[in-house]
Amino acid sequence: MSKKPDCISNYMITDVITLNKNDDFEQAVDIFEKHKIRCVPVIDDAGVFCGTFSLHTVIKKISPLAAQSESAMSLNFFTTGIDFIRDKYQSIKDQKIDIFLDKEAPKIKADVHFMEVLNVLIHGGSPVSVVDPKTHKLLGIFTYQEAFKLMRAPKKK
């Protein structure tokens, strides 16, 4: 841990739920449901950070392109519905999660200042993975919830 009081290594979560890039899709979904989370860091067998696996990415992968459009005003023209999405889900559920990874997921070094992490949260979302810059191993994560806890905590005297 850093001696600097505002360094993120002092506040990151180190007991992190992770997935292995070789895990299958259903294992990942079970983790989401069991822990009531929506995004999990993914590592390889050596503990190297590979990206994140998230419900957002899964929903985006199985949704029609029109549903993903930021400029879509109304999608009432669709003749397909929930059954279409269910069929797409069934077609991907036996695959490995590595094809669903967000390899551009937000990541930071452990020695960055809290305000820099807030910037990453605001612009990149949560969780932010804390990764060793030399080994690329996952050291921890920092989430919206952790930021909010810090904001609400009383000042240290």
Query: Does 3 map to a domain?
Result: no
Counting the structural domains of the chain, the total is 1
- At 130, give phi and psi (nearest 5°): -100, 120
b/e code 11-46 from CB counts within 10 Å (16+ = b): bbeeebebbbbebebeebbebbeeeeeebbbbbeee
Q: What is the tens place of the pLDDT at every residue in 91-140?
A: 888 889 988 899 999 999 999 999 999 999 999 888 999 999 999 999 99
Q: Poorest-confidence range of 2-6, 36-40, 92-96, 111-115?
A: 2-6
Confidence of residue 58 (pLDDT cuts 50, 70, 90): confident
Q: Average pLDDT, whole number, for the chain? A: 87
Query: Does 133 map to a domain?
Result: yes
Query: Does 124 map to a domain?
Result: yes
The confidence score (pLDDT) of residue 68 equals: 59
Query: Does 2 map to a domain?
Result: no
Q: What is the distance between the alpha carbons of residues 129 and 103, in angstroms, rounded to a whole number?
A: 11
Of all residues in the chain, what percent carry a pLDDT higher than 90?
55
Query: Does 61 map to a domain?
Result: yes
The confidence score (pLDDT) of residue 92 equals: 85
Mean pLDDT computed over 42-64: 90
- At 86, give phi and psi (nearest 5°): -60, -40
pTM of the model: 0.83
Q: What is the tens place of the pLDDT at every residue in 138-151?
A: 999 999 999 999 88
Question: The domain that contains 17 carries what CATH number?
Answer: 3.10.580.10
Mean pLDDT computed over 75-98: 79
Query: Does 62 map to a domain?
Result: yes
Query: Does 130 map to a domain?
Result: yes
Per the structure, the complete domain to which residue 26 belongs is given by 8-152
Mean pLDDT computed over 51-72: 77
Query: Does 157 map to a domain?
Result: no
